[in-house]
Amino acid sequence: MLEGVIVLNIPQKTKYSSSRRLREMIIVLRKHNILRGNITPEKMRLILEDLGPTFVKLGQILSLKPGFLPADYALELTKLQTRANPLDFAIIEKCLENEYNKKLDDIFEYIDPEALGSASIAQVHKATLKSGEKVVLKVQRPGIYDIMAKDIVLLKRAVSILQLFKSSPGVLDFNAILDEMWSITKQEMDFMTEAEHIDEFRRLNSDEAFIDCPYVKHELTTARVLAMEYIDGIRIDEIDKLKSKGYNVEELGFRLGQNYVKQIIDDGYFHADPHPGNIWIKNGKIIWLDLGMMGRLSTKERDALKKAVFSLVQHDTYEMKNAVLTLGKPQAKLNHISLYEDIDTLMNRYGDTNFQTLRLSELAHDIITVSRKHKIAINPGLSMFARGVVTIESVLKICCPDINFIDIFSSYMKDDFKRNFSWQEEFTKFKRDSYIMLQKSLHLPEQVSDILKMTMSGQTKVNLDVTGSEEPLRRLDKMINKLILGIICSALLLGSSIICTTNMTPQIMEIPILGVVGYLVAVFLSIRLMINIYKEK
């Protein structure tokens, strides 16, 4: 089996209908004349939208991965929309009846046949219960899991084929992106998980007077249907409507920014897709909708993010390096000097940056870029953080362009420091650290004595790691491999020539078969050696 092929727990029929899905993809590519002319950023976005929800999700994730795409392509892919033509209401009714296993008239007084919204994974309808309560039903499109599963299988197979040609070092990373995308998508398609997200978000923001989210109707919620309280409000980007209702838009924007920072810094649990359609205003409250995609940051990661911001402003390369290593886990042997130099370059690029001019989204992207270069695996939560901050910054530009998100962020961090700082705790920590240091210092004379004794008796062993020695050694290793391959080729040609002058059997056209095989192997190895030399040039 080819390396990298994903094994999915999908229905058997899905595995055998992938060819049909492949034909659909080819039709889309032909429609956009992909073989003619250059693929512009806009054309690439349109192709992904026509290919369907899997490729829309893939484009959205790639737009947040620095280094995978040129900046203009990444920017265009941020515009990818998940809107879709609504399904016929009869299909929605059948889905609901299958999920509830009863007639809809027994549950609902009325279901509006016109969809409130229709996306690639689900569509939303307003309904009224028998009790008169108004609710919203988020119904998953039938067969969407199978369609996306087929796409992932096909993409994984394509990556596996590319892995046969080791010319692209990014294939493994792309494989990881597919895994990340599939994990996020499965999370979004399980509405029971989204219901849990809503409950947790409500609990964490229960003390926030100006923040709310819809209640979940758990008795009507399944893995494919999410029933929630109906929210009749105004979108955050409908500025004229908000002003006509007497709202102070700048104050709303400031509270929105404050709450988003609180989600990141205090909760470590934040909305990963805070676009205007997911933020509504009702009765003076900011209502968060569509909590299917949520990001998580551990306490350690949150502290590292704060440390990264302060390090950048103070131009402390060493602390920034520590923050980067805290945010990720090295997947290979780390060249600390090279990492330090790259981070120092990052710091110099920001120059005289202060809290007022810093853009958190750019900082997060730069940290991810450096980490990827040095094969440091980053928690998906950081990628979601970068995406969320980019989106929330764009929302604030719409409703309150004079308010800078980083100002809110820095102000909140300062207040957080004041709230959590305790002289008693700091003094206790100082005493504990001093005691540990004293204990270690008492053992120093004994350790020095042992080292001297071992050195004098010839037992000391010193391990040296010469920085920069890896590349010369790698080149030497390649040269030796080529030399050995050349010697083998020469030996095969010489041996085969000698065999061909004998009467050894079996023969073909009066030539010993063993000699012919030797010639063919020698020619094959020679061609491979020449290809390797050409590639290195």
Q: What is the pLDDT of residues 381-436, one digit of tens each?
A: 777 888 788 888 888 888 888 887 877 887 777 766 656 555 566 567 667 777 77
Query: What pLDDT, in 10s, does the model give residues 496-513?
Result: 888 777 777 777 777 777
Q: Lowest-pLDDT range, 181-185, 261-265, 351-355, 437-441?
A: 351-355
pLDDT score, position 4:
34
pLDDT score, position 104:
92
Looking at per-residue pLDDT, the higher value among 112 and 503 belongs to 112
With 50 as the cut, is the pLDDT of residue 270 above it?
A: yes
pLDDT score, position 108:
94
What percent of the chain is predicted at pLDDT more than 70?
A: 83
CA separation for the pair 231, 252 (Å, rounded):
18
- Over range 258-266, report the average pLDDT: 92
In contact, 248 and 155? CB cutoff 8 Å: no
Looking at per-residue pLDDT, the higher value among 247 and 481 belongs to 247
pLDDT score, position 172:
45
In contact, 66 and 369? CB cutoff 8 Å: yes
Mean pLDDT, the chain, rounded, equals 80
What percent of the chain is predicted at pLDDT more than 90?
A: 24
CA separation for the pair 51, 48 (Å, rounded):
5
CA separation for the pair 399, 247 (Å, rounded):
11
- Total number of residues shown for the chain: 537
- Over range 69-88, report the average pLDDT: 75
CA separation for the pair 358, 413 (Å, rounded):
15
Query: What pLDDT, in 10s, does the model give residues 329-344?
Result: 888 788 888 888 888 8
pLDDT score, position 276:
87
In contact, 315 and 346? CB cutoff 8 Å: no
With 80 as the cut, is the pLDDT of residue 364 above it?
A: no
pLDDT score, position 205:
94
Q: pLDDT grade, residue 40 (50/70/90)?
A: confident
Tokens linked to 331: 């997947």
* pTM of the predicted model as reported, rounded to 2 decimal places: 0.69
Tokens linked to 172: 């493994």
In contact, 125 and 92? CB cutoff 8 Å: yes
Closest to 327 measured CA to CA, from 274, 277, 370: 370
Q: pLDDT grade, residue 446 (50/70/90)?
A: confident
pLDDT score, position 282:
93
C-alpha of 120 from chain center: 20
In contact, 34 and 53? CB cutoff 8 Å: no
Q: Where are the beta strands (DSSP E) in 233-355?
A: 234-235, 269-271, 279-282, 285-288, 294-296, 328-330
With 70 as the cut, is the pLDDT of residue 484 above it?
A: yes
Closest to 274 measured CA to CA, from 393, 447, 121: 393
Helix (H, G, I), strand (E, B) or coil at 129: strand
pLDDT score, position 12:
41
- Over range 209-233, report the average pLDDT: 93
